Structure 1
Amino acid sequence: MVRRVRDDYRYWQRIPTRWNDNDVYGHVNNVVHYAFMDTLINTWLVQAGLDIHDGSVIGLCVESHCNYRSSISFPDAMDAGLRIGHLGRSSVRYEVAFLAADDTVVAEGHFVHVFVDRTTRKPVEVPTGLRDAMIGLVTS
């Protein structure tokens, strides 16, 4: 049996490309994938209850990486899958896959957040309610 990439991710979001995402070579520029990762993760965090505007805890990106597998161009959309590869005391490693409509892997990457106090910027534990939601995305 062939393993499907979709089965490895717990949360999915459709991300449309925009005309200005294309570069001179006619495909979505590599830097745009990082913005898509950031959007996917922060959309999930807001849905999970993180108050990005007024909460006392925020997540800061300390590492990001992306491997490009195939290209995509406007007006195509991608399905973005999210899972958590590691959940620490104050940090989390999100893993992301971008799939084209035919399930071709466009890109795969990761993004590490360290949760900090909004004012002091010192690391704090992932808030309990958020941690509970994150456990649902953890892969073994």
Structure 2
Amino acid sequence: MVMVETDTRLLSDYPIIRRIPTRWMDNDAYGHVNNVTYYSYFDTAVNGYLIEKDVLDYLHGQTIGLVVETSCKYMKSLEFPDIVLAGVAVSHIGNSSVRYEIGLFKEGDTDPAAQGYFIHVYVDKATRRPVNIDSTLRYVLEEMSI
């Protein structure tokens, strides 16, 4: 894994912390969590929180968030059986889009293993056309803002 220098956030910089256990299948042939799996952790942390807050109903709701842009910088390896602490914050809320900032930390570490972001555009589930973020979701997103 190539390590990248970047400005880092501490776990305490994130208003939301999600605990994600790694799985045996997350490791690749090199003995660490495969890079694509980090994006799965991003999705799990953000969407899990939104479901818990009852502002995302991906099965029956009329609005869904589609990822339109994403990035991840890798600083340290994770590996099974690590527990990942995913820090989540919102850095921008638009009319129909949100930028989530995510930091992944091995439980017990103060330095991130990775950090990145993704942007959701909220769309009508049937038409896939952008819709304005409703007031209930906007309130939860504002609570997550940094």
Give 2:19's aligned residue: 14
Structure 1 residue runs of 4 or more that deviate by more than 6 Å after TM superposition: none
RMSD: 1.3
TM-score normalised according to structure 1 size: 0.94
Q: Distance in 1 between matches of 2:67 and 2:38?
A: 15
So what's the TM-score if we normalise by structure 2? Answer: 0.90
Displacement of 1:120 after TM fit? 1.0
Q: Does 1:110 align with 2:117?
A: yes
2:131 is aligned with 1:124 = yes
Amino acid at match of 1:52: Y
Query: What residue in structure 2 maps to residue 58 of structure 1?
Result: 64
Which of 48, 70, 75 matches 1:69?
Answer: 75
Structure 1 pair 4/97, CA: closer, same or farther in 2 (3 Å)? closer
Alignment-derived partner of residue 46 in structure 1: 51
Q: What amino acid sits opposite 1:62 in the alignment?
A: V
State the one-letter code of the partner of 2:92. H
Q: Which moved more, 1:60-69 or 1:45-54?
A: 45-54
Deviation digits for residues 64-98 of structure 1 (CA, Å, limit 9, x no counterpart): 11000000111111100000010111000000001
* Displacement of 1:52: 1.2
Provide the aligned length of Structure 1 versus Structure 2.
137
The structural deviation recorded for 1:6 is 1.7
